[in-house]
């Protein structure tokens, strides 16, 4: 995909907070195509041979975001459309579980120890081990515009202007719509994933450095929070396929999600021979949590869906 502009990830173009006082590193015309070189979620601290010791010594200020880019003519009240056109990975990715005392991920109480798994990314495939592979369906975990509220804002929580949305369907061919709150919009992106299950349950997908190519334009529609158009894929292969699912039934959606996931990890251990940390990482990369019902009070149902095509 030809780009009108390319932004390399340098000290001058990478930032770690959403802040409307940041000067744009580039101003483009509506409809211009920009390629953003994006560092991985660890800002390069975990590489293709990362170890648990590397993870323990890692310090992260926030997601490394490339930008911001101003779109000429974009004004508060407008809607910025981001057409994601292409994603080029750099051949490797990493998933990790932080120590349980940090209370991150969906099941921190089950995983007191840090864990790291590196992936070989080859073309359209992320190799988990000799018998398991996950199709690559890349997307940016973070994509957003500057908030109207002054000051530096953490990149960790998503917000009305986008940010750390972690929507895996923002893949090539999708369009993200964001409400503009400052002149020019000031769009940035980063935290790319080669693949992720809905839920990103261990805290990380397949975190990978990547080049993101997108068209930035002003859309004739009103949004007050992120909206998007996508054609999926909605399963790893892009077609309906056999799934194995485990369900959680509880009176709290988070608790139901935990039960569904924990039962899925049991299945991956017993039926697929994975260690529990490996099962947790694979679930984060490829298992989808879905809300099945929220109307049969007092209990709600969440299920974890495992595509059987992952296994040789």
Residues 104 and 199 in one domain: yes
Q: What is the CATH number of the domain that holds 279?
A: 3.10.28.20
Is residue 238 in a domain?
no
Q: What are phi and psi of 195, to 5 degrees?
A: -165, 160
Q: What are phi and psi of 260, to 5 degrees?
A: -60, -45
User: Does pLDDT of 60 surpass 90?
Assistant: no
Residues 157 and 12 in one domain: yes
Using CA atoms, how far apart are residues 74 and 85, in angstroms rounded to an integer?
21
pLDDT confidence of residue 220? 96
Residue span of the structural domain in which 271 resides: 243-310
Question: Which of 177, 195, 229 lies at the terminal end of a domain, its last residue?
Answer: 229
User: Does pLDDT of 49 surpass 90?
Assistant: yes
pLDDT confidence of residue 89? 97
SS3 105: coil
Question: Which of 199, 229, 259 lies at the terminal end of a domain, its last residue?
Answer: 229
pLDDT confidence of residue 242? 96
Contact 281, 95 (CB under 8 A): yes
Q: What is the pLDDT of residues 184-237, one digit of tens each?
A: 999 999 999 999 999 999 999 999 999 999 999 999 999 999 999 999 999 988
Residues 256 and 189 in one domain: no
Give me the chain's average pLDDT, please: 96
Residues 195 and 98 in one domain: yes
Is residue 259 in a domain?
yes
Q: Which residues of 157-177 are buried (b: 16+ CB within 10 A; e: fewer)?
A: ebbbbbbbbbbbbbbbebbbb
Q: What is the pLDDT of residues 77-131, one digit of tens each?
A: 999 999 999 999 999 999 999 998 889 999 999 999 999 999 999 999 999 999 9
Q: Would you place residue 178 in the very low, low, confident or very high pLDDT band (cuts 50, 70, 90)?
A: very high
Token pair 């804002």 is found at: 153
pLDDT confidence of residue 61? 82
Q: Find the mean pLDDT for residues 273-277.
A: 97
pTM of the model: 0.95
Residues 195 and 252 in one domain: no
Residues 298 and 224 in one domain: no
Is residue 234 in a domain?
no
CA 218 to chain CA centroid, nearest Å: 24
Is residue 103 in a domain?
yes
Residues 153 and 178 in one domain: yes
pLDDT confidence of residue 114? 95
Residues 124 and 247 in one domain: no
Is residue 275 in a domain?
yes
Is residue 237 in a domain?
no
Measured CA distances, 180 to 37, 57, 230, 267 (Å): 23, 38, 21, 45
Residues 200 and 165 in one domain: yes
**C-alpha radius of gyration, the chain, whole number:** 19
Count of structural domains within the chain: 2
Q: What are phi and psi of 253, to 5 degrees?
A: -65, -40
Q: What is the CATH number of the domain that holds 221?
A: 2.60.120.580
Contact 236, 310 (CB under 8 A): yes
Q: Would you place residue 44 in the very low, low, confident or very high pLDDT band (cuts 50, 70, 90)?
A: very high
Residues 141 and 251 in one domain: no
Using CA atoms, how far apart are residues 117 and 100, in angstroms rounded to an integer?
17
Contact 115, 277 (CB under 8 A): yes
Q: What is the pLDDT of residues 119-146, one digit of tens each?
A: 999 999 999 999 999 999 999 999 999 9
Using CA atoms, how far apart are residues 189 and 292, in angstroms rounded to an integer?
32
Q: Find the mean pLDDT for residues 164-176.
A: 98
Residues 44 and 131 in one domain: yes
Is residue 39 in a domain?
yes
Residues 91 and 189 in one domain: yes
Using CA atoms, how far apart are residues 40 and 94, in angstroms rounded to an integer?
9
Token code pair at residue 129: 């081990």
In the chain, % of residues over pLDDT 90 = 96
Q: What is the pLDDT of residues 283-312, one digit of tens each?
A: 999 999 999 999 999 999 999 999 999 998
Using CA atoms, how far apart are residues 311 and 297, in angstroms rounded to an integer?
37
């Amino acid at each position: 995909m030809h780009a009108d502009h390319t932004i390399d990830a340098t000290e001058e173009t990478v930032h770690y907070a959403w802040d409307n006082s940041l000067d744009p590193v580039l101003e483009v015309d509506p409809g211009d195509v920009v390629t953003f070189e994006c560092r991985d979620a660890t800002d390069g601290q975990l590489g293709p041979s990362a170890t648990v010791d590397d993870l323990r010594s890692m310090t992260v200020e926030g997601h490394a975001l490339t930008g911001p880019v101003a779109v000429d003519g974009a004004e508060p009240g407008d809607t910025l459309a981001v057409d994601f056109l292409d994603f080029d990975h750099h051949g490797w990715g990493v998933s990790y579980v932080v120590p349980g005392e940090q209370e991150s991920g969906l099941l921190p109480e089950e995983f007191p120890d840090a864990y790291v798994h590196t992936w070989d990314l080859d073309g359209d495939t992320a190799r988990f081990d000799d018998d398991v592979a996950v199709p690559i369906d890349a997307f940016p975990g973070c994509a957003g515009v500057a908030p109207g509220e002054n000051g530096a804002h953490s990149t960790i929580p998503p917000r009305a202007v986008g940010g750390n949305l972690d929507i895996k369907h923002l893949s090539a061919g999708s369009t993200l719509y964001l409400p503009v709150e400052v002149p020019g919009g000031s769009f940035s992106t980063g935290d790319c994933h080669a693949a992720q299950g809905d839920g990103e349950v261990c805290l990380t997908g397949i975190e990978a450095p990547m080049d993101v190519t997108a068209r930035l334009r002003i859309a004739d529609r009103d949004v007050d929070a992120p909206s998007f158009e996508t054609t999926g894929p909605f399963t790893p292969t892009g077609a309906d396929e056999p799934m194995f699912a485990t369900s959680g039934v509880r009176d709290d959606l988070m608790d139901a999600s935990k039960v569904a996931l924990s039962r899925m990890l049991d299945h991956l251990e017993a039926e697929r021979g994975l260690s529990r940390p490996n099962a947790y990482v694979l679930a984060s990369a490829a298992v989808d949590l879905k809300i099945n019902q929220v109307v049969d009070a007092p209990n709600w149902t969440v299920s974890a869906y495992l595509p059987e095509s992952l296994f040789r």
